[in-house]
Each structure stands twice: as structure tokens, then as C-alpha cells.
Chains A and B, each alone.
Chain A
Amino acid sequence: MQPILKGRNLVKRYGKVTALDHCDFDLMPGEILAVIGDNGAGKSTLIKAVSGAVIPDGGTIELEGKPIRFQSPIEARDAGIETVYQTLAMSPALSIAENMFMGREIRKSGPMGQWLRMLDRKEMERIARQKLNDLGLMTIQNINQPVETLSGGQRQGVAVARAAAFGSKVIILDEPTAALGVKESRKVLELILDVKARGIPIILISHNMPHVFEVADRIHVHRLGKRLCVIDPKDHTMSDAVAYMTGAKEPDPALSAA
């Protein structure tokens, strides 16, 4: 099976600091790939390189076998890669529907849309409601509620739903449970599995080992700017993973080739 997203020899330097040191990366179709690593290991740079937020100094990235080189997150998005940032990138004063369609609004057909550039509010609300329902996410009464009136978990839910609605190829989730309580984290994890069930591969960045081991199919361990190894959560314990990423234990050389 070919990886849907493949990175080879990725290099990124910030002055004297090398954030990515000839790093490889593979995401398989339909899987949840967790990316773990200690702070400063360079995992967020890796994710930014994939999502278009930084431009690597060297190396290649391929999406479905075709080489790509994003100049901005918008280009990555247009290519079908959606990212849910840790900050969620939502405008608190605007409604759920408006946030879901921010930057890709639907205009009315006919002269109102063409000449007066009028938005098709009804259609956007309908799609937003449908997308949220598709994910079995929530029983929504008011899709026009401002996002700031939602709880943290609800906001995360909307952000994931937005990514799932538009991310045709890959969805990247950056620390989706970091700011949430126990119950809300549970809801979001279930949501992630729902998205996966619809066949969209997911990259999950997280510090939370129990969450990673619960949902991930494979775990990419990042250390010192490159991929140290990829492990299967069913064959390894959380202590193994932590030991690898902190350098307390060397992985089996066979794993590194995976």
C-alpha cells in the first residue's frame, strides 16, 4: 500500500537550530497516525511543513504520489489537507456556521449572488448542521450561536467538524484534548474515531499517552529532528514509547525501518 502522504529527507533550520534533520514521514490511507516527541523534538515543525505553515529548506513531500510544495496553509487546504490548530482558529464572536465557512463562503446563485455577492446563509447553515449531525456530534438547536458561547469541548467539536467537512484527503489534529476536561476529551476522542470510520486518514499530535494509545493505529516517535521509529500501540507499552522519545531506551533497529 502506498502512503497517502510521504515526506523524505525534510530539512528545516531556524538560524543555527536544526528543527528538521533529514526527516522521513509516512501516513497510510485510512489510519490514525499519532506523532509524539519531547518538547523541542521538532514535531510541530514537521506538522507545519506538511500543513503549509512553514516551507521546508530541503526534502520532498508527496500527496498521493504527486510532489507538492505548499507556500501557505491555504494552499494545503485547497489540496485537501485540513488542520485543526491547537488555538482552533475560530472567530469567537461569529456563529458556528460562519466559522465553518470562513474563507470559503457560499454565494447565492442568480443575480443576488453574482451582482450583489450575497451569501447563501440558509445553505451554509444547512450544510453546517448536516456536517455536525453526520459526525453524530451534537443535537444542535442554534447553528447561529456565537462560538464564544460554547464550551471548550463544543468548540473543539466544531473545529473538528469543520476539518472533516472539507478535508478530503488528510486531517491534522494538533493537541485536540490538551485544554479539555475528562468528559470532554472522551467526546472528542470518539469524534476522532468517527472521522476515521469515514475513511479519512488523521495525523494526531498529542502529549497524552493514554489518548494516543487508545486511538492511534501507528505511532511516529520523533526525536532530535527526525523520525526515530514507528511503533504499533498493540505491541508496545506507554513506558516504551516514553523511553524511546526521551532517549532512555534505543528502539529495535528493525523498527526504525518501518
Chain B
Amino acid sequence: MKNLTKTLAMGASALAFSASMALAGGHSTTVCLITKTDTNPFFVKMKEGATAKAEELGMTLKAYAGKIDGDHESQVQAIETCIADGAKGILITASDTAAIVEPLKQARDAGLLVIALDTPLDPIDAADATFATDNFLAGLLIGQWAKATLGDAAADARIATLDLAISQPTVDVLRNQGFLQGFGIDLADPGKIGDETDPRIVGSDVTAGNEEGGRRAMENLLAKDSTINVVHTINEPAAAGAYEALKAIGRENDVLIVSVDGGCPGVQNVKDGVIGATSQQYPLLMASLGVEAVKAWADNGVKPEPTEGKNFFDTGVALVTDKPAEGVESISVEEGMNLCWG
């Protein structure tokens, strides 16, 4: 009996303690970060940036992520949790940019600021603001660089594009089409990969954005045409895989590989000559700007404005290469290493 009383007393004090904790937490502004996964270094870096900024501003960051890329349901659950939690704003990289709109509308109706990070929603105005890389510009830069680097040989280039997925997600299309436009190829439908008729394009294949897929896709395209000499890759791991496939047939030195992302191993690969040039994006900046925006919204009710001339807030992109080409602005590998993520 004595024991029971003791246990009850302890339980009660524990309850009281946690209640006071919750109340204390209630004073600070909560912001939610919802990413596609928490395994990809890009999102890991994003979370780091958000956590650091939230700490600096005295806010509470709650991070959620899908289990795998494309996990829509976990993101919906996370939004519901954030609403119930009384958060002031949601920063989200949506897995399914169209389907997520409805749950996000509920969040906005509940007074939360919704900011899309990295990936614009469909439609883009379903978010209060979008902080993202201009992926089309990222592609455009590497396309222009490749064309300028080849010079006259660009007219006879044999091009392969190593894309992300069969379903052609927005980021995949933007980078691919940006690259082709930069290279001076007629895009036909700019919302679609693979409808171009330019004979310089050998073909495209998907990589899932990793080394394994990059190597296989490169091999498949080389089996189709072994004279390929320009390769666009969706990201740097895919580029590294493509390089291995080229190395296996001794062609690693006469093929130009370009990529997008700007992760540290990727920039290192630019330095080592694996990748010719890569367009670097800035996830840390996206996240910290996002947290600041939520703070401004919570304190003063001010929404962020998009970049002039664009329907989203451009967090910037820079071409990283040690072989600058005429007419294409770029930064050196050294600068790129200082800014790289992951």
C-alpha cells in the first residue's frame, strides 16, 4: 500500500513536470520542416541549416520526413501533426507536388505560413512562397558551358542524358530541358523529356540518382551508340556512376560529363576531372531563409516576396568548374568547396 502511494506520487509529479515543460515550450514559436527523406545528404544539410537558424532566433524546429522518396502519406501525417501542434509555419519539400496541395490548404486555413523548399508545388501558388533553386537555370548553365567548351565540335556532339526517374518529376524535366536549351537544342515540349528530334541526342535513360543507376544507364546508352561524348546527369552520384562505365571502356577522358547539385563529393569530382562542371545549389540557405520567413510571419504577419521576375524566391545557383568557358559565369572549385553541402 505504501509502495502504491509512492508510485502514485511519483507519477503525479512526473506529470506535473512534463506539463510545465509543455507550457514552457508553448512560449517559443514552432516551425515544421518536412522533407522527402532524412537520408539524402541534401535534406540532411537542409535540416542542419534550419536547426541552426531556429536556435539562433529562439524558435523550436520540428523535423519530419517521408520514409522513402515519394512517400506522400507520411508527409500528410506530418502536416496534420504540425497543425495540431500549433506550429506557425511549415517548410516542405513535397514528394507529390499536386496531391499535397489539399492538406497544405488546411494548414494555411489554420493560419500557418506554408513555404515550399527546393521543389515548387503544383500549382506554385498553393504555397505562400517557394524558396528554391532555379533548376532550369542550373541545367541551362551546364548546357551553355558544355557547348562553349566543345566549341565547333558542338555541332557534331553525341549527347546522352542520364535522368532521374521514368515518371519525369519536375526537377528532372527542368534540369534536362535547361541543359538541352543551353546546348542549343530545340526543346519541342519543354515539359517533357525525350520528345526532341535533334539527331545529336543519342538517347536518355534513368538512374534513380545514384552510382548504381548511373553506371547501368551509361552502359545501356553506350551499347546503343559508343560515340557519345557529352553526358548530362541529374546529379553527381549518377555522374560518378557514368564515369565508371566510361572508364571501363577507356573513354573517361574524351567525354564531357556535366551535372547538378554541388554536394562536397561532387565538387571534389569536378576537381578530379570526373565531372567537367556542375551547377551548385544551396539547401542550407533555403532552409535558413525559410525559418526567418516563418519568424517574420509569426511576429509581424509579413509574407516573403518572390524574386523579381520569377514566381519563386531564387536561392541562387552557381556553376562550379576550374575550366571557365567564355560567356558563362562560373566560380572556381575552391569557392565551390567552401559552399558545398553533404
Q: Do any CB atoms of chain A lie under 8 A from CB atoms of chain B in the complex? A: no
